[in-house]
Structure 1
Amino acid sequence: MKGAFRGFGLSILTLTILGGCAATPQDESSQAINSVSVSLVTPPRVEQQLTLNQIMANPDWMGIFAKGEYWSDDSRSVYFARQPHSSPLRDYYQQPLDAMNATQLTIEQLHLADQQRGVYDTSRSHKAFIYQGNLFVKELATGAVRQLTRQNTNVDGVRFLDNGDIAYWQGEQVFRIHQDTGLYEQLANIKMTKAPEGVQDPDSYIAKQQHRLIEYVALQQSNAKQKEQYQTELTKLDPTVAAKTWYLGDAEVISEMSLSPDGRYMLLSLVDKNYSWRSEHDIMPNYLGSKGYVDAVPARARVAEDNPPGERLVLLDLKQHDKRDITIEGLDGFDADVLSAVKAENAKAKGESYKSHKSPRKVQLMQDWGWSQSAIQWQSDANQVAIMLEAVDNKDRWLARVDLNAGKLITEHRLHDDAWVNYNFNQFGWLPNSDTLYYLSEETGYSHLYLKAKGSKAKALTQGKYVVSDITLGPKAKFIYYKANKDHPGIDNVYRVEIASGQSEQLTQWDGQLDYSLSPDGAKLLLNASRRTQPSELFIQAIGGELKQLTHYTSEAFKQYPWQAPEVVKVASTHGAEDIYARVYLPQGYNKANADKYPAVIFNHGAGYLQNAHYGFSGYFREFMFHNLLTQNGYVVMDMDYRGSKGYGRDWRTAVYRNMGHPEVEDLKDGVSWMASNANVDANRVGTYGGSYGGFLTFMALFTEPELFQAGAALRPVSDWAHYNAPYTSNILNTPDIDAIAYERSSPIEHAAGLQKPLLIMSGVLDDNVFFQDSVRLVQRLIELEKPMFETAIYPVEPHGFRQPSSWLDEYRRIFKLFEQELK
């Protein structure tokens, strides 16, 4: 969501924003972290009000922040990237822990920058990594780096074998570099084609007659057979010849491959080659193509048409040249009819009946949206492998071992959810020199950390009503480090649990949001941390030591402006849910006893499963500034983590299952009531807005509760869930062919007749996430319903996340105008 910085430089913008103002930013530390009472704090005094031109400008004026940070191999410095002002490219930096400033790296130095993702040998004396598609190895003691390949064909993966050799793969070929001789050996040449037929015996009358009567033909046949037999023997017995080619058929392609530590086994995940992320109907017209014509841009498939085939596991024994197809029968519940109740309900609605039956389900490697690890994990010092699989129907996740001899799966943990298994909190791995797995699971209703030894019951290392994420096994495997929101759902801190005793220890004392990474020596934490009015900066904290800020990239213009830090409050639910956490911004000169009640706006965050009512700096930084602007114009603003939001456990997440847009609107109703009772708001002068899922929720609020809000603005909104993508939507609503009831209940276009108040619809024509067609179809529906109270705005060059400052400005000018006209 970046764009050009229109018309003026940073120094001019700095002067414009500060405007000689002597006020200082609101002191966040003066407010209690668990601010859940209704005793609201008066916002800071502002002498120079914000303007839409300022806050919707290129965000570079806020600071050029560090991104993609990671540790150096020696734990003495940190690498990160920054994107220069108005540039499409990134610059890369290294900053020693004892230095005040970072040093920019030249292009010639980038391959030496320790590389964030690499693999280590068993002694951790060498690190192999891929840079620009080529393979390198670094000797950690000396820092010497050797380049092993220089090719135009990218290396796709690398690992150290248990004897120190390096294995790597390119496409469907696997190679081994012998560290003692330097020999390059092809371990596997895999071809996704049918095997050559070889020399065939005659099978028709004419062919047999030819061989019987013509001596020359018979001789040629005999010679060909002898050559073929010799080549087979040569491959088996000649130690100088590469391994025999694997022919795995022409119906599938390789989705993922993983090599065992000793180089003997290759585990493959295969998928139907005809499956595509898009269907033949899916294009997106670009009306402003570079050649002056309308370009047909490929777009993803809709959930109503998508039909993921699942994946198939194959084990290759490279030593014996033996292939074993791994069946899913070893997965507990592999054939359960988990959607029987849903199917029965939908059948009944059509006057039909449904009889439950068992049949094998489609499965695939777990697709976690927040991790970078593989779903296939080998025990580093033994031929044990664990895989994490998920059902395509979204109801089960399995952690299973693979019996390499029998080619079977053995279930170690089955996580079943009648709604859907979370696409976060799926990290797992092996404890070294052990048959014990560690993993995250939401089985108690909150993500927690577990140990599971072979043949034993799982042991919980954490427990409670909080969320554990981002687990890291310490370098000596004594501790597992993790992030959790133990003190407050909107506050993150880093902890570690001693594996032997199960005792946890808090390592940071932060009062906002953070991400962390553990240094290679296990002695320090690198934090990317923020507070409500303070964007993310990098910090270093030695384990047991003091916190030190490493970067200072927030601009003085942003730091010196008196931003209002929203209070995080708890809104009591009157609809049977737990308390709803929300951010509240108060108007300038706020007086609870003021005879004139305030107008208000509720912002609906996107993604559905996202947390925004926290103590960190919001990812919606433009909206944060817009909310400050609204308060300067007399509004109360609320930002709710309605049901379905992240950070509050499984039940809160799945409250919207088969019923999207209804529990959330109930929460919005409670938010309006709370503001009327506690912030002197006129309940008859409240508006709402949001983008993506927030736009969908704006629709549902105005269509199903027409008296709740007096106006609404829906940005890049979903109007019909049958047109959204399968990976997201099928989790929550199943699929339209199975659960039409859920789609009709949850899609705004089905409820459009309820619109009674002014509605603004804004969409990007090049939105390949929520298609522009969503808005087109809804607009036509509203026209046919003869609804006069809606307006539309289109943005011809914008994708889902707008990029051009001019588009952001136009969009928020219209939103502000709507609220000024309808709520004042």
Structure 2
Amino acid sequence: ASDGSELRTLTQGEWMIDGVIEVDEDSGWIYVNSTRGSALERRVERVSIHDGEIETLSEPGGLHGASLSRDGKWLAMMSSSLTAAPTITLVATDGSERRILYESDISLDSIEVTAPELRTFSAGDGTTLYGALYRPESEGPHPLLLAVYGGPHAQTVLDAWGLTVDLRAQYLAQEGYLVLKLDNRGMAGRGLAFEAHLHRQMGTIEVDDQSAAVQQLADEGLIDIERVGVYGWSYGGYMTVMSMLRRPDLFKVGVSGAPVSDWDGYDTGYTERYMGTPQNNAEGYREGSLLTHADKLEGQLLLIHGGVDENVHFRHTARLITALTAADRDYDLLMFPEERHMPRDQAGLEYQERRVARYFDRHLK
């Protein structure tokens, strides 16, 4: 209602409305993205304002998004999947017509990659977790590289072309590593209860879930548990280091890009949404800080950071270096003085990728 009071609930169930595309009051429909088919997919659907009836407008499977025309008669829909590059289709909202506007000529064969394998893992409490495996062609058990993000408000494992064309993961798999991406508890796409596991305790449950998945791969004989590495950027950079500090027995080599070293120095609009303030959650901030646990580092760690990073300021890596030095712990540093959150020029990106690959080859193979 206009005064903010609730009139009625239109949708319910074990799935999410992931975003509202448009509200068409004239026709009585709300156009949305939903996970009604699977948390690994995004449907384009419309919900009746009058009775909550739901109509699916996208094809089965994959990742779909759309924009609605001003007259409410057409959707411009972008779609992709693990095996199909993005297409743009003009879809009549009454279901009468579909017309392809753009179709890529890129295919798995043309870029010589294989789509990652989607599978499930189990968290310590029995929660189902979704992961993606990039498999090498060689016989196992393989060295494992965990490509981690781990933070809230993001989902990395989806039936989407973007997962397939992660060229770093694809290259490392071609070099003989098994590469795993896992969406741990606390990440997006699975509802509030799933994401709320991180509340006031960043750097804990994420590491537990990632570690559990690694152990499951070892139990299945797919990996060599003595050769496990981890890499990530931003929250994934934070997770890389925290994984090495909390589970030094498991994670032997890490490449950490632009890590948040202490949540008291990051964007408060982001941090306090999940952690509260340092005043009302002192223990959570202390336990979630890399600085607190710096003396536990045992493995080989490469830190990468841009000198003018406007998101995670270089001060975070500087503070971590200070803590590691005080603890007499060895580390390696790759700094890009004139770059932001990651290198953006071609030469810088290529140099970074060579350094990442060589670091794992040197310390993990």
TM over 0.5: yes
Alignment of 1:24-173 (within 5 A): none
Alignment match of 1:608 (pick from 152, 170, 180):
152
> Helix, strand or coil: the match of 2:14?
coil
Corresponding residue number in structure 1 for 2:73: 523
Distance in structure 2 (CA, Å) of the matches to 1:802 and 1:608: 24
CA separation of 1:581/1:773 partners in 2, compared to 1, >3 Å: closer, same or farther?
same
Corresponding residue number in structure 2 for 1:803: 344
Confirm or deny that 1:576 pairs with 2:121.
Answer: no
Confirm or deny that 1:820 pairs with 2:361.
Answer: yes
Distance in structure 1 (CA, Å) of the matches to 2:126 and 2:348: 38
CA contact (8 A) 2:150 2:184 kept: no
> Helix, strand or coil: the match of 2:293?
helix
> Helix, strand or coil: the match of 1:568?
strand
CA contact (8 A) 1:583 1:639 kept: yes
Distance in structure 2 (CA, Å) of the matches to 1:675 and 1:807: 34
Distance in structure 2 (CA, Å) of the matches to 1:734 and 1:657: 8
1:123-169 alpha-carbon deviations (Å, 9 max, x no partner): xxxxxxxxxxxxxxxxxxxxxxxxxxxxxxxxxxxxxxxxxxxxxxx
Opposite residue 805 of structure 1, the aligned amino acid is Q
CA separation of 1:784/1:749 partners in 2, compared to 1, >3 Å: closer, same or farther?
same
Distance in structure 1 (CA, Å) of the matches to 2:314 and 2:357: 23
CA contact (8 A) 2:248 2:299 kept: yes
Q: TM-score, normalised by structure 1?
A: 0.42
Alignment match of 1:663 (pick from 178, 196, 205):
205
Q: State the 1:534 CA deviation.
A: 4.1
Opposite residue 522 of structure 1, the aligned amino acid is G
CA separation of 1:616/1:545 partners in 2, compared to 1, >3 Å: closer, same or farther?
farther
Corresponding residue number in structure 2 for 1:740: 282
Corresponding residue number in structure 2 for 1:464: 13
Confirm or deny that 1:760 pairs with 2:302.
Answer: yes
Opposite residue 328 of structure 2, the aligned amino acid is E
CA contact (8 A) 2:149 2:239 kept: no
Alignment match of 1:774 (pick from 299, 303, 316):
316
CA contact (8 A) 1:720 1:749 kept: yes
> Helix, strand or coil: the match of 1:808?
helix
Opposite residue 813 of structure 1, the aligned amino acid is R
Q: State the 1:476 CA deviation.
A: 2.1
5+ unaligned residues in a row in structure 2: which ranges? none
Alignment of 1:682-701 (within 5 A): 682-701=224-243
CA separation of 1:471/1:461 partners in 2, compared to 1, >3 Å: closer, same or farther?
farther
Alignment of 1:263-278 (within 5 A): none
Distance in structure 2 (CA, Å) of the matches to 1:498 and 1:606: 35
Q: State the 1:568 CA deviation.
A: 1.5
Distance in structure 2 (CA, Å) of the matches to 1:546 and 1:679: 50
Corresponding residue number in structure 2 for 1:549: 100
Opposite residue 36 of structure 2, the aligned amino acid is K
CA contact (8 A) 2:16 2:189 kept: yes
Opposite residue 580 of structure 1, the aligned amino acid is L
Distance in structure 2 (CA, Å) of the matches to 1:726 and 1:620: 34
Distance in structure 1 (CA, Å) of the matches to 2:60 and 2:112: 22
Confirm or deny that 1:505 pairs with 2:47.
Answer: no
Opposite residue 343 of structure 2, the aligned amino acid is F
Distance in structure 1 (CA, Å) of the matches to 2:38 and 2:107: 31
1:404-449 alpha-carbon deviations (Å, 9 max, x no partner): xxxxxxx62xxxxxxxxxxxxxxxxxxxxxxxxxxxxxxxxxxxxx
CA separation of 1:704/1:556 partners in 2, compared to 1, >3 Å: closer, same or farther?
closer
Q: State the 1:537 CA deviation.
A: 3.4
Q: State the 1:797 CA deviation.
A: 1.3
Opposite residue 129 of structure 2, the aligned amino acid is I
Corresponding residue number in structure 2 for 1:707: 249
CA contact (8 A) 2:257 2:303 kept: yes
CA contact (8 A) 1:534 1:559 kept: no
1:219-245 alpha-carbon deviations (Å, 9 max, x no partner): xxxxxxxxxxxxxxxxxxxxxxxxxxx
Corresponding residue number in structure 2 for 1:536: 86
Alignment match of 2:43 (pick from 493, 497, 500):
493
CA contact (8 A) 2:85 2:106 kept: no
Q: State the 1:737 CA deviation.
A: 2.6
Q: State the 1:480 CA deviation.
A: 1.9
CA contact (8 A) 1:598 1:680 kept: yes
> Helix, strand or coil: the match of 1:659?
coil
1:72-120 alpha-carbon deviations (Å, 9 max, x no partner): xxxxxxxxxxxxxxxxxxxxxxxxxxxxxxxxxxxxxxxxxxxxxxxxx
TM-align CA RMSD:
2.1
Confirm or deny that 1:791 pairs with 2:335.
Answer: no
Corresponding residue number in structure 2 for 1:476: 26
1:729-758 alpha-carbon deviations (Å, 9 max, x no partner): 011111113322111011111111110010
Q: State the 1:822 CA deviation.
A: 2.1
Q: State the 1:479 CA deviation.
A: 1.9
Q: State the 1:472 CA deviation.
A: 2.2
Corresponding residue number in structure 2 for 1:647: 189
CA contact (8 A) 1:608 1:694 kept: no
Opposite residue 332 of structure 2, the aligned amino acid is E
Corresponding residue number in structure 2 for 1:722: 264
1:13-43 alpha-carbon deviations (Å, 9 max, x no partner): xxxxxxxxxxxxxxxxxxxxxxxxxxxxxxx
CA contact (8 A) 2:79 2:86 kept: yes
Distance in structure 1 (CA, Å) of the matches to 2:35 and 2:23: 19
Distance in structure 1 (CA, Å) of the matches to 2:326 and 2:161: 43
> Helix, strand or coil: the match of 1:570?
strand
> Helix, strand or coil: the match of 1:462?
coil
1:336-375 alpha-carbon deviations (Å, 9 max, x no partner): xxxxxxxxxxxxxxxxxxxxxxxxxxxxxxxxxxxxxxxx
1:768-821 alpha-carbon deviations (Å, 9 max, x no partner): 110101101111111111112x10110011111431122222222222112112
Alignment of 1:184-263 (within 5 A): none
CA separation of 1:769/1:757 partners in 2, compared to 1, >3 Å: closer, same or farther?
same
CA contact (8 A) 1:475 1:520 kept: no
> Helix, strand or coil: the match of 1:618?
helix
Opposite residue 75 of structure 2, the aligned amino acid is L
Distance in structure 2 (CA, Å) of the matches to 1:565 and 1:510: 18
CA contact (8 A) 1:692 1:717 kept: yes
CA contact (8 A) 2:186 2:197 kept: yes
> Helix, strand or coil: the match of 1:687?
strand
Distance in structure 2 (CA, Å) of the matches to 1:502 and 1:765: 51
**Number of equivalent positions:** 363
Alignment of 1:322-333 (within 5 A): none
Distance in structure 2 (CA, Å) of the matches to 1:532 and 1:546: 25
Larger radius of gyration: 1
Distance in structure 2 (CA, Å) of the matches to 1:619 and 1:806: 24
Q: State the 1:535 CA deviation.
A: 4.2
Distance in structure 1 (CA, Å) of the matches to 2:188 and 2:96: 31
1:667-696 alpha-carbon deviations (Å, 9 max, x no partner): 111110222234621111111000000000
CA separation of 1:786/1:555 partners in 2, compared to 1, >3 Å: closer, same or farther?
farther
Q: State the 1:583 CA deviation.
A: 0.9
